[in-house]
Amino acid sequence: MKTDARRHHDPEVRGFASDNYAGVHPEVLAAIALANGGHQIAYGEDDYTDHLQRVIHSHFGASAEAFPVFNGTGANVVALQALTDRWGSVICAESAHINVDEGGAPERMAGLKLLTVPTPDGKLTPELIDRQAWGWEDEHRAMPQVVSLAQNTELGTVYTPDEIRAICDHAHQHGMKVHLDGARIANAAASLNVPMRAFTNAAGVDVISYGGTKNGMLFGEAVVVLNPDAVRRMKHIRKMSMQLASKMRFVSVQLEALLAKDLWLRNARHANAMAQRLAEGVRSVDGVEILYPVQANAVFARLPHDVSERLQKRYRFYFWDEAAGDVRWMCSYDTTEDDVDGFLTALKEEMSR
């Protein structure tokens, strides 16, 4: 069978801009092909979505339920909308993805208000949460109903299970629920070397936005409800938020490919290891400062602006704070040692110019 499809990119080009730049893991592609063929009931009544629930139970317990969605922003919007009333607000770190990288979607689409807190390392604490956790009976203030934390954080740092448990206990004492943005939840589990349940349902988290795209999937994430009593009408909210996939089997089978065995963990461990290799090399380069602990698959650094601009012509990456000269380098499941070493060589060359 002849096809007119052509490759429009150079597969040898590598970058450190985002783990979203990576392609699809071969095992995930094989799973999609396996699910293709024949007819399956649409909108989540298929065999693959049904089996996914059993896989989710193995990671998060028998009461957990997964609601596959298209993307991470959709997962966060659906989850937060299911946790809040129309007058509700969500406490989060000022650097949180829901605040700085989702185009106002949680506020515009979910109709809630974000109450942000500055943090030194992207991590909330009970004390920091208390800066915004007040005024529940004040009709002039959006009512704090949810604490949203990211694991790992937008700055690449990782909460310990005890830190998340302290946040959950504190939030629940105030009648608030806890949402975990898990776009890179696998990287956090790999970093901590604990099961995902250790810092989610075992710590008191109510709902997770489970991330798969950054860990080797083609597309798709899931809202994982850990506490059914904390949410309302998830199916209806997912549909109303335009996150209900008609051919859901192709999202569900990808999540199954990651989670049924250890692909999720293998991918995350490799990405984390490449970030550590990168950080070790960067520390030997005079004039380059690593800004935060490298605990997952991100390295944040500060270096001369002109060096970054020249380096960006050789390897794609983003400025984090361009005025300060801060940049972010991300490693993915398919980053190789040669990729890291080549980047370090280029960095040293540009720093010496």
As a whole number of angstroms, the distance between CA 145 and CA 154 comes to: 22
Mark whether 35 and 121 lie in a shared domain.
Answer: yes
- The residue among 199, 231, 259 that closes a domain is 259
**Same-domain status, 107 and 173:** yes
Of 259, 285, 301, the one marking the end of a domain is 259
User: Given this model, what pLDDT does residue 232 score?
Assistant: 85
CB 77 within 8 A of CB 104: no
Same domain, 217 and 117: yes
Beta strands 113-117; 88-93: pairing state: parallel
Q: Is residue 50 part of a domain?
A: yes
Which pLDDT score is estimated for 12? 87
**Distance, CA of 178 to CA of 312 (rounded, Å):** 38
* pLDDT for position 2: 66
pLDDT of residue 4: 78
- For residues 249 and 267, membership in a common domain is answered with no
Domain that holds residue 99: 26-259
The tally of domains found in the chain comes to 2
- Over the stretch 161-206, which tens digit does the pLDDT of each residue have? 999 999 999 999 999 999 999 999 999 999 999 999 999 999 999 9
Does one domain contain both 221 and 341?
A: no
Give domain status of residue 11, yes or no. no
294/330 same-domain check: yes
Of 11, 20, 10, which is closest to residue 297 (Cα–Cα)? 20
Give yes or no: residues 39 and 101 share one domain. yes
99: in domain = yes
Out of 234, 259, 284, a domain closes at 259
Q: Answer whether 300's CB lies under 8 Å from 237's CB.
A: no
Q: What CATH number is given to the structural domain containing 338?
A: 3.90.1150.10
SS (H, E, C) the chain: CCCCCCCCCCCCCCECCCHHHCCCCHHHHHHHHHHCCCCCCCCCCCHHHHHHHHHHHHHHCCCCEEEEECCHHHHHHHHHHHHCCCCEEEEEECCCHHHHCCCCHHHHHHCCEEEEECCCCCCCCHHHHCCCCCCCCCCCCCEEEEEEEECCCCCCCCCCHHHHHHHHHHHHHCCCEEEEEECCHHHHHHHHCCCHHHHCHHHCCCEEEEECHHHCCCCCEEEEECCHHHCCCHHHHHHHCCCCCCCCHHHHHHHHHHHCCCHHHHHHHHHHHHHHHHHHHHCCCCCCEECCCCCCCEEEEECCHHHHHHHHCCCECEEEECCCCEEEEECCCCCCHHHHHHHHHHHHHHHHC
Taking the C-alpha atoms of residue 187 and residue 110, their distance in angstroms, rounded to an integer, is 28
Q: Residue 343: inside a domain, yes or no? A: yes
Q: Are residues 211 and 328 in the same domain?
A: no
> Are 346 and 281 in the same domain?
yes
Which portions of the chain are predicted below pLDDT 50? Answer: none
My answer on whether 112 and 68 are in the same domain is: yes
Give pLDDT, residue 135. Answer: 96
| Same domain as 305, residue 335 | yes
Asked if the structure places residue 19 within a domain, the reply is: no
Measured distance CA(263)–CA(59) in Å, rounded: 13
**What value, to the nearest 5°, has the Cα angle with vertex 152 and ends 149 and 157?**
105
Asked if residue 16 is part of any domain, the answer here is no
pLDDT score at 1: 57
Judge whether 6 lies within some domain. Answer: no
Residues 233 and 280 in one domain: no
Residue 126: give its domain's CATH number: 3.40.640.10
Residue 192 domain flag: yes
Cis peptide before 152 (omega within 30 of 0): yes
